[in-house]
């Protein structure tokens, strides 16, 4: 949620429905609600260059900074990184790639999540130093800067892929997907 009346989400839709062969692109959309009823869905105003996909957004508690995944595919190789964007009067600023402490060279880093207190950025990455595959990592957030990432360790991560982290404040539960665990 961006605020109590606006939900941000990722959707894969054709760029041009009139083209003979449709090219599908992941983009960020916003759903506006009025008194709990869906009022409209529109493309979020986040600059997006052609050939790049973007999605999996999270917003800081004050609603002024968005973190998102941007990725491209060249041949059979995916290259994903986390970017930040600032709220402007008419949408969002050009996304800026976070530094190498978050987006390690040669690794894919994706699926950001900011905790409800705004103190931590959770994400998934196949960077070195983990348990194997994609792992869940966290980095402290302070005054808009990210601190040193920490792997959540073997209690959370397996030698397979753990992705899509979210922290549910009310139940103090980390929620994520894993293909290294059953159930």
Identify which of 148, 81, 76 has the alpha carbon closest to the alpha carbon of residue 108: 81
- Average confidence (pLDDT) over 28-32: 92
Contact (CB, 8 A) for 91 and 46: yes
Contact (CB, 8 A) for 139 and 128: no
Rounded distance between C-alpha atoms, residue 88 and residue 85, angstroms: 9
3 DSSP assignment: B
Query: According to the model, what pLDDT value does residue 1 have?
Result: 63
Name the average pLDDT for the chain.
Answer: 92
pLDDT band at 5 (very low <50, low <70, confident <90, very high): confident
Alpha helices (H) in the chain, listed in sequence order: none
Identify which of 78, 114, 116 has the alpha carbon closest to the alpha carbon of residue 98: 114
Query: According to the model, what pLDDT value does residue 36 have?
Result: 84
Contact (CB, 8 A) for 150 and 170: no
- Average confidence (pLDDT) over 83-111: 95
pTM for this model (two decimals): 0.91
pLDDT per residue as tens digits for the range 64-88: 999 999 999 888 888 999 999 999 9
Query: According to the model, what pLDDT value does residue 183 have?
Result: 67
């Amino acid at each position: 949620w961006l605020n109590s009346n606006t939900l941000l989400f990722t959707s894969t839709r054709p760029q041009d429905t009139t083209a003979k062969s449709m090219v599908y692109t992941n983009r960020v959309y916003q759903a506006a609600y009025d008194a709990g009823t869906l009022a409209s869905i529109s493309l979020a105003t986040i600059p997006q260059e052609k050939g790049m996909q973007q999605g999996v957004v999270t917003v800081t508690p004050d609603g002024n900074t968005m973190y998102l995944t941007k990725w491209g595919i060249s041949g059979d190789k995916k290259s994903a990184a986390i970017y930040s964007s600032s709220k402007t009067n008419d949408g969002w600023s050009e996304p800026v790639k976070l530094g190498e402490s978050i987006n390690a060279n040669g690794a894919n880093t994706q699926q950001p999540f900011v905790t409800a207190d705004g103190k931590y950025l959770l994400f998934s990455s196949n960077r070195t130093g983990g348990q194997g595959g994609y792992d869940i990592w966290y980095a402290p957030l302070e005054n808009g800067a990210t601190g040193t990432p920490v792997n959540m360790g073997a209690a959370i991560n397996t030698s397979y892929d753990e992705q899509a982290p979210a922290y549910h404040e009310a139940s103090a539960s980390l929620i994520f997907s894993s293909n290294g665990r059953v159930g």
